[in-house]
Amino acid sequence: MGDGFGLYLVMTDPVAGYEACAEAAVRCGVRYLQLRMKGAARDAVLETARRVRGITLGSDTLFIVNDDVTIARDVDADGVHLGQRDLPIGEARRLWPAPGKRFGLSTHNEREALLASRRSPDYIGVGPVFATPTKAVPDPVLGPGRMGSILRSVPVPAVALGGIDRGNLAEVLRHGARNFCVVRAVTRRADPESAIRELQAIWRQESAPGCSSSASRTDANPPGLASNPT
């Protein structure tokens, strides 16, 4: 998934519209862009996914579909992100055996992160770091400290997620995250490009040499654990 790419953007009902938000992500060089349309009809998700795929195709932005591996496969996305109650990753790979596709898994505690790592995903999501209304039944909040501990304990790339915005991003990075996911911090803004650039600026500042950020913390793994590129 790459070492320290920073922002992973999830689109859910962006006020600027899905296409405008996707275009902003591509212009800003966002590495990962996920389409998440919980509760929407499959046909609506498929049509939106096709439009977003057309925008990301040929760019440096990789397009991920949330939950539904068949939609990801049908639009030839770059990957699919699965939750704890979604299709098992092994079955998803069987349904979509195309080479080079990314398979991500959500995790919400130490046990889930460890078990997910054993399934060899391309990355895991770790959170929620802070409270967030994006899920109908929210998972318990981890907080930055516990999040950092989980990130350092897993041998796979990870993305911190849940309630992250420009007001708390620096704290998240200082606790060990190198990659972070946002939803509302971008999708609730009428100008998604400005929101993206603000977050990227914070990430660059905290990642600069000499900063007390994740760059120094991720080398502090206990003996026997692989260095985590998050």
Q: Which long-range contacts (CB under 8 A, 24 or more apart) does 46-50 make?
A: 46/71, 46/74, 46/75, 48/18, 49/74, 49/75, 49/77, 50/75
Give CA–CA dist 177/187, Å, rounded: 22
CATH class (in words) of the domain with range 7-217 = alpha beta
pLDDT given for residue 216 in this prediction: 39
Q: Which residues of 97-112 are buried (b: 16+ CB within 10 A; e: fewer)?
A: eeeebbbbbbbbeeeb
pLDDT given for residue 119 in this prediction: 94
**H or E segment at 80?**
strand 79-82
pLDDT given for residue 133 in this prediction: 86
pLDDT given for residue 3 in this prediction: 67
pLDDT in tens, the chain (230 residues): 446 899 999 999 999 999 999 999 999 999 999 999 999 999 999 999 999 999 999 999 999 999 999 999 999 999 999 999 999 999 999 999 999 999 999 999 999 999 999 999 999 999 999 999 877 778 999 999 999 999 999 999 999 999 999 999 999 999 999 999 999 999 999 999 999 999 999 999 999 887 654 433 433 333 232 333 33
